[in-house]
Amino acid sequence: MSSLDDKVINVVLLFCFGDAFVTGSASGWGRYDDAAVVKVYETLTGVKVEGKAPMLSKEDVLQSLPSEWPEDPIDNLVPIASHSSKKFLVVLDDDPTGTQTVHDIEVLTEWPVEALVEQFLKLPTCFFILTNSRSMTADKAMLLVQTICKNLKAAAEKVPGVSYTIVLRGDSTLRGHFPEEADAAVSVLGEMDAWIICPFFLQGGRYTINDIHYVADSDRLIPAGETEFAKDAVFGYKSSNLRQWVEEKTKGRVLENQVSTISITLLRKQGPTAVCEHLCSLEKGSVCIVNAASDRDMAVFASGMIQAELKGKRFLCRTAASFVSARIGIKPKPPICPNDLGLKRALTGGLIIVGSYVPKTTKQVDELRSQFGQSLRVIEVSVEMVSMKSMEDRDQEIRRIVELGNAYIQSRKDTLILTSRQLITGKTPEESLEINYKVSSALVEIVRRIDSKPHYIIAKGGITSSDIATKALEAKRAKVMGQALAGVPLWQLGPESRFPGVPYIVFPGNVGDNSALAKVVKSWASPSRSSTKEILLNAEKGGYAVGAFNVYNLEGIEAVVAAAEAEKSPAILQIHPSALKQGGVPLVACCIAAAEQSSVPISVHYDHGISKSDLLQALEAGFDSVMVDGSHLTLGDNILYTKSISSLAHAKGLLVEAELGRLSGSEDGMTVEEYEARFTDVAQAEEFIDETSIDALAVCIGNVHGKYPPSGPNLKFDLLKDLRALTLKKGVSLVLHGASGLSHELVKVC
């Protein structure tokens, strides 16, 4: 038998008896020497072993890991890091999404030496420098990082005692200029003891386990090299094993078996001290990857790294966002809502700009449009027109979008401006970046020309959000307030920006499930009008009353809204059954339109619903609330009548008012004689509230509909106090009908 036959037999035997071994080792599940066997096999046979890590169940994998390190070191991270009061973390962020896990941190979009000196003098634990280098060619990115590092070095020399650790914050799905940016930093700052590679990012579902980097998709863990992110036209890669990824990206300069690893087992069983010992034992210039599957893992590593730094070790970090918050000891806080920032009622619509092309973004946009329907104004930017056609065609497309955008935002309509979803790529990575630049610059020009100040701004995609902030909105610095959703940073732009104070939400292209974008828009979009319930709850908190006014025509509606706006007061537009019979649905529509356009909270209420059939129609007419008036019935019948409507109204989210006791007087053709009137009984009121689950109780304390007698009203204030105490205890609002003609002083007493 020839030597060639021997080789064939050897190959066959290896596949027969070692298939599982080869697959596992090539996927990074084995020891270093196991992987070396695969390399030797490839060399001898000339056959490339393309090991693919399996797709796994997230729940099964996470449950199979050792228990977390028992002590959470996060509380001690800042004191440890502050051992030297002038040791800072400086994050060079290749797009704005790196602020995904921090709050109360400043971001600089410019980096002159003077600005960096000013930042160092503030003694922050950390600050970000937005480079947006992911949108550049590798050569330009390297030059930029070198410039920033030179300026940092010069600034540090002007502030005695300053030292800092550089973090090159990159994409958690492994896209970006690595190792070029790291090489650029080292060329200025000198050789480091080690490069730290840590792409773990919990909020985005990015886990590194047994050296394999995974992207979570629902309950599955997909190796990063098998995702759409690995197919990126500019930053594509094949390896899911991070040691192999380092070899791939460095083009063999750093071999897989030269890459050191900090395992989850080390983090969870040996803790920060073992991390410190491992880092201190590395040869100078090493590359070390960090496995992590929880924020506790990240905090344990950060604690050990700080200990190593205190021993004099210097590290250059290429990480995702989770490392930054762990390294400076920041704990997560709940998502920020408009109320948290004290924002006033919106007078304009919000602006949502989408430039990201990843499939996740397209799915999120589809879900946003599905949930919001016609209430969301959508303007599509033709990518072909702005990147492949003449300058005249490009400018015409930009002018068309600006005109529509200004009109929609001014009309208080939330407006989505998105690039057409077809992805146009070049023949080379450089050509693809050039096309991306043309599209991004078109979005910048569109937002630059929009002069209607939006209620909020959402920019979807890293490159898009950076360019919009710096070029379109002219922000030189910003403060990270927190997150609008887990992994979605919310900035407050500096006073020099075009729209200071407007919340700027940086939405990464690769974060969140399909409904994530819709969730953020829903929480920030202003409701088309305030509900009666919101108005009454705010009145309760503020200690004031809200006027409710019956209207019969457009002139009356305009008069009430104009008066409310002049007084900067909320108000309720009421429609009586008789008025509804005359004006019909158009009258309700006029009230709704006026409420939507008002600068103060206005709601629309159906008054004195005596007829069940009329009330059922009112529930479908667009009212914010209804009054169920069974005051003419016995207590038992009133309870049954009110309860039947209350359950239906609550199912639609409407507030329910009901009356107990009976007012005398006339209103819109309905008259209650004085002998028919009766005061509200406190004990009956408690039973009535408990049985009907109403939201607001109208009571009789001597108040009447229409005109009061010449002698004036005879109001029972002691009864009013008792009823007020009851409604406070029950959590319902107290309503007094018959305010027409009362003096200002008497209203205040009530």
Residue 710: asked if its preceding bond is cis (omega within 30°), the reply is no
Give Cα separations from 141 to 233, 242, 254 (angstroms).
17, 23, 21
What is the rounded CA–CA span in Å between residue 299 and residue 330? Answer: 10
CB 232, CB 325: distance < 8 Å: no
In DSSP terms, which residues pair with 419 in a beta bridge?
Answer: 381
Q: Is 690 a catalytic residue?
A: no
At 484 the three-state DSSP class reads strand
Alpha carbons 334 and 343: distance in angstroms, whole number: 18
Q: Report how far residue 98's alpha carbon sits from residue 96's, in angstroms, rounded to the nearest whole number.
A: 5
SS3 category, 538: helix
Q: Which of 206, 23, 189 is nearest to 197 (CA)?
A: 206
Residue written as token pair 């410190």: 276
What are the beta bridge partners of residue 691? none
Q: Where are the extended beta strands (E) located within 564-635?
A: 571-575, 602-609, 625-628
DSSP secondary structure letters along 652-717:
TT-EEEEEESB--EEETTEEE-GGG-BPPPHHHHHHHHHHH--SEEEE-SS--BSPPPTT-----H
Give the length of the chain: 750
Characterise 172 by phi-psi region: left (phi > 0), alpha (psi -120 to 50), beta (else): alpha
Measured distance CA(369)–CA(741) in Å, rounded: 49
Tell me how crowded residue 729 is: count the other CB atoms within 10 A of its CB. 10
Residue 493, C-beta contacts closer than 8 angstroms, at least 6 positions apart: 469, 473, 475, 478, 499, 500, 501, 502, 504
Would you call 660 exposed, middle or buried from its count of C-beta atoms within 10 A (0-12, 13-18, 19+)? buried
Catalytic residue among 93, 607, 624, 695: 607
660, two tokens:
């107990």
E strands in 226-296:
259-262, 286-290
Amino acid at 638: N
Question: 3-class DSSP state for residue 494?
Answer: coil
- Identify how many contiguous H helices and E strands the chain contains and give both numbers: 26, 28
Structure-block tokens of residue 739: 């305010």
Q: How many CB atoms lie within 10 A of CB 87?
A: 17
Q: At what angle do helices 391-410 and 429-449 cross, to 10 degrees?
A: 40
Q: Which residues contact 21 (CB under 8 A, 6 or more apart)?
A: 30, 34, 37
Helix (H) or strand (E) holding 295: helix 295-310
Beta strands in 502-653 (DSSP E): 503-507, 547-550, 571-575, 602-609, 625-628
Q: Do 523 and 335 meet the contact criterion of CB atoms below 8 Å apart? A: yes
CA nearest neighbour of 601 among 649, 561, 556, 658: 561
Ranges assigned E (strand) in 356-476:
377-381, 415-419, 457-460
- Sorted by sequence, the CB contacts under 8 Å of residue 265 that are 6+ apart come out as 66
Supply the DSSP symbol for 343.
P
The terminus-to-terminus CA distance of the chain in angstroms comes to 110
Task: Name the residues annotated as catalytic.
Answer: 607
